[in-house]
Chain A
Amino acid sequence: MSKNGAPWQENFKFSMLLYDARYRGLTIQISVLIAFLLAFFWLANNVVQNLADLGKPIEFGFLGDVAGYDINQILIDYTAQSSHGRATLVGLLNTLLVAFSGCVAATILGVIGGVLRLSNNWLVSRLVAGYVEIFRNIPVLLWIFVCMFTFTALAPSPREFRGADPEASMLFMDSVALTNRGIYIPEPLFSRPLGNIDLGIFFVSIELLLILACLIGGWLFVRKNNARALQIQNDTGERPATFLVNLAAMALPTIIILIALGFHIGKPELKGFNFKGGINMSAPFIGLWLGLTLYTTTYIIEAVRSGIQAVSKGQTEAALALGMRPGRIMSLVVLPQAMRIIIPQLISQYLNLTKNSSLAVAIGYMDLVSTLGGITLNQTGREMEAILLLMAIYLSISLTISVVMNWYNNRMKLVER
């Protein structure tokens, strides 16, 4: 039979699905898949059955209905007459706002704290260590409560600003009002406005676009100018002065446009029972922002510290031997190498902060959970749709952050041969 050397073939038997390592994997996978699908359909079937019994099939039409509730802090136009979908969008923007401000503040404080943690000043490094140990071992929700209630208990009420001899006064030349309802800061105004562009969902002011265009143009020019300077430096060894030209390119067009549009600052003023005008950062926003920042900073401090300590001591010593000053050693030698260790940890802390911002619901900041998962859910009774949508939105935010930060991480990674 096997005269011509054809490979010996065994007939396939069903028992081989279990006893033959080549096929067993397949059996296990198919049975796992079947079990998963059965479980999934069982859950889905229960949902459909239970919702049908209650007479509310899954549909997202409620997002178009009138919301009928007010939101205390809005970034885009919103009234009680707007739809639930619009309220969700406002909530999403509020979530992104507090997450973004928290990430920025926590990064700045965390990097400073991480460097101070390693300072050879005993008092400072012990103080930072104490701060880290105290804040990271206590739940973030408790910190949010403490920040919120401390702010509302200690800041003066708007009433105290009134009268000829008020108990409280505004800060920074009467431009910032710190009250227990929130902080009012000046807003930029234009006396010769150009109007808005309707993007369908929200308006974008043309002034803002113009200024952004100027800044981007200036930045492109600065890049080009720096590249030219580098070229000249490579060719001749002399680097031409670029600072003044760069500064002018960034600042001059913007200043000209601001003057042309009649830029001025609108200060908040006490009218009636509260302040009017200016930008209002509501008390829950301040409490949430402070709480999240103070808590997340501790993790970033530890990330920065471990990153800096992971850079081999020889690098610092070599830089010292070259005669560099300590500050420049940190910024030019140590930190760039430490960044490769710090950034992955930073990414996970940004993700944590964004997810923790959902605790806003506990203190009444109108974020995504408070609007879609709170009032909208209670008013429409659409639990299934609202919570699934909520989870889907958070999932996409998390995925976006990790994709963007991983792309950045890959760019920063040491290129190895």
Chain B
Amino acid sequence: MSNYEFVRTDMLPQQEPPSDTVGVIGWLRANLFSSFYNTALSITVLFLLGSVLMNAVPWVFLGIWNADSLSHCREIFASQYSDGREYACWAVVRDRWDQIIFGYSFGNLEEGLFWRPVFALLFVFVAITPILFPSTPRTLYLATFATLFIYPWLIWGGSLSSYLSIAVLIVAAGYVYQILSKYMISLFSIGLMLVFLILGLWLLNAPISALIHLILPFELQSIPSREISGFVLSITIGIVAIVASLPLAILLALGRQSDLFIVKKLSTLFIELIRGVPLITLIFVATVLLKYFLPKSVNLDPVLSVMILVTLFTAAYIAEVIRGGLAALPSGQKEAADSLGLNYWQAQRLIILPQALKISIPGIVSNFISVLKDTTLVSIVALNDPLGIATAVRSHTDWNGIVWELYAFIALIFWLMCFSMSRYSMYLERKLRTDHH
């Protein structure tokens, strides 16, 4: 019998994968041309993208940076490109970038005041480090506390001592509370501390301020609120709104979660009232109505009143974020605090709030992003935020007719700020989520 059976005795070597499933071609096939439908979609999108970029890229990159006015720009286009088309006139950004960022008050580079907002922002970065990165030393919280007073000093100017004396009084009030709370229930000691603080601000502020001025005689050129403008105004309103609204928001969130009927209803009423109306109506209230709500002797300038109303607005939204954080805590935490014999405020301060606030940080960051974006609304009531300045520049004779260049510049800066913050908030959310598992 002939032996036609064949038995392979050695292993076949592993074969390369088909050449059209690896490398660039394989990636393209899998991601762009996997089916007829996908291929059609890819080609349409590529075509559309190409036609948009064909117009946009030359407009951006062939733009002129060196010119005095829009008409000068147009002369340069005519002489340089001679195709009759218009390109970007970036000269307006080169001419006015300092105003848009630092505003009319700090923007004049020759006067050399622009270091003040720059340093103020640096202080803010130092201040938020211990909050954003819990691994950093806790002594940095001192810097956070100091920034609460140094930031306004750098922006508004005046004597450093008037800001420091408020800081001294607040620290003193803290000590008063600690001493009092050994002898009486917290409700009384909080009340007495507030009385001490108000009396102190009223009576002791001037002498303490004068005393500090003797030791630290630092004074900066004072800037009236209504002259703060540009991105400095946007960022200042945003920071003031977030920082000032946090205590109010915590109280509102606790109030809405509490068992006390009247407290709960009042908190809910405030939060829903504020969340039900557009911010622009609240800004109108700030600029038009606030003077009617206050006695005649109080004279608020528009920027400060806008800050107050934006703070109330932010407080309502952050209260909801914190309420979410409170609701996310397992009820065992509160029961454990109860069983240790902590009273309500001790339990909140030591057990509940530290955890609830930690969960709420991503939400607070995204609220900061929306407040920062919403600050552009103040241009409607004629405050000079970046959009207000852009309108002013566009109506200047030199730059009349500029449309996109200024808005592109402002949009780029807003985008850089908001995008980086939203990325941070997403990173934090991921980190917090893995903590639980």
Contact = CB atoms under 8 A, between A and B. Distances in A.
A10 to B, nearest CB: 19
Contact of B387 (A142, A361, A394): A142
Contacts of A359: 280, 377, 380
B277 A355 contact: yes
B168 interface: no
A359 B377 CA distance: 8
A201 to B, nearest CB: 24
Contacts, number: 143
A139 B31 contact: no
User: Size band of the B side of the interface?
Assistant: 35 or more
B82 to A, nearest CB: 22
Given A28-B260, A359-B280, A394-B277, A137 B419 contact: yes
A50 B260 CA distance: 35
Contact of A138 (B293, B296, B373, B404): B373
Interface string B40-52: 0110011001000
Contacts of A134: 415
A387 B31 contact: no
Contacts of B262: 29-30, 32-33
A138 B276 contact: no
A109 to B, nearest CB: 15
A123 B32 contact: yes
A395 B276 contact: yes
A121 interface: yes
- Main SS at interface, chain B: helix
Contacts of B276: 394-395, 398-399
A140 interface: yes
Contacts of A383: 288-289, 292
B41 A139 contact: no
Contacts of B374: 139
Interface string A355-386: 11011011000000100010001000001100
Contact of B42 (A19, A124, A384, A399): A124
Contacts of B288: 377, 383, 387
Interface in A31-65: 32-33, 36, 43, 46-47, 50-51, 53
Interface stretch (A145-153, A203-211, A254-262, A279-287): A145-153
A138 B414 contact: yes
A123 B45 contact: yes
A348 B290 CA distance: 29
Tell which of A30, A137, A145, A399 has the most Cβ of chain B within 10 Å.
Answer: A137
A172 to B, nearest CB: 21
Contacts of A394: 276-278, 281
Nearest to A145: B407
A404 to B, nearest CB: 14
Nearest to A127: B45
B284 A137 contact: no
Contact of A121 (B31, B278, B289, B376): B31
Contacts of A133: 419
Given A18-B185, A133-B419, A356-B278, A141 B379 contact: yes
Contacts of B387: 139, 141-142, 145
B186 to A, nearest CB: 11
Given A124-B45, A384-B292, A362 B277 contact: no
A270 interface: no
A25 interface: yes
Contacts of B91: none
A103 B365 CA distance: 27
A25 B263 CA distance: 10
Contacts of A146: 404, 407, 411
Interface in B265-312: 266, 273, 275-281, 284-285, 288-289, 291-296
B403 interface: yes
Contacts of A142: 376, 387, 407, 410-411, 414
B418 A137 contact: yes
A146 B414 CA distance: 15
A127 B49 contact: yes
Given A29-B261, A142-B411, 11 more contacts: A46-B295, A121-B38, A138-B411, A138-B415, A141-B376, A146-B411, A358-B281, A362-B379, A387-B285, A387-B289, A390-B281
Interface of B: 31-32, 34, 38, 41-42, 45-46, 49, 185, 187-188, 259-263, 266, 273, 275-281, 284-285, 288-289, 291-296, 369, 373-374, 376-377, 379-380, 387, 403-404, 407, 410-411, 414-415, 418-419, 422
Interface of A: 18-19, 24-25, 28-30, 32-33, 36, 43, 46-47, 50-51, 53, 119-124, 127, 133-134, 136-142, 145-146, 149-150, 153, 355-356, 358-359, 361-362, 369, 373, 377, 383-384, 387, 390-391, 394-395, 398-399
